[in-house]
Structure 1
């Protein structure tokens, strides 16, 4: 049996379990992304407070950090929606 056919049969038999598993995956990815961004921000603050800190890279790093935080938040929001949807199935 091909993989996608087996996955479809599992989804049809256990749709709530599959949706909860997908929600867990998105929650882990979003949480990891937010934690990694917080660590990256803390490292940047530590480097900028040193005497040899480079200021021109701060603006681009701040934009990147905002993007990563938004994507992490979207992943966590999607995980919440999937979890709610699995309760309704």
Structure 2
């Protein structure tokens, strides 16, 4: 498919194009949130299996500062992606 045909489809159906972009952002953001949560759970399980974590009631103190900052960044970026997806989806209804 040539670039001109893709551009023509974009111009012919702008709402569907925005919805496709919103779907992409929604899937990317949800995958990032899910992957970050699974990574956190695996790290806690690895620490508890190794005996490094004495008290599992306070999970936040298990991670070091750079890991916590990275997880917070990934959570924020995931939520921003989901919010952008919602805004694009709402915006496509106005076209």
**What's the CA shift for 1:83?**
0.1
Alignment RMSD, CA only?
A: 2.0
1:33 aligns with 2:39: no
Range with bigger deviation, 39-48 or 10-19: 39-48
Please, which of 59, 68, 75 is the counterpart of residue 65 of structure 2? Answer: 59
Q: Secondary structure at the match of 1:88?
A: coil
Cα pair 2:44 2:62 within 8 Å, conserved: no
Between Structure 1 and Structure 2, the one with more helix by share is: 1
Aligned to 1:73: 79
Aligned to 2:5: 6
1:87 aligns with 2:81: no
**What's the CA shift for 1:52?**
4.1
TM-score normalised by the chain length of structure 1: 0.85
**What's the CA shift for 1:57?**
5.8
Pair 21,31 (structure 1): closer, same or farther in 2 beyond 3 Å: same
Cα distance in 2 for partners of 1:56, 1:30 equals 25
Q: Secondary structure at the match of 2:82?
A: helix
Unaligned runs of 5+ in 1: none
Which 4+ runs in 1 deviate beyond 3 A?
none
TM-score normalised by the chain length of structure 2: 0.80
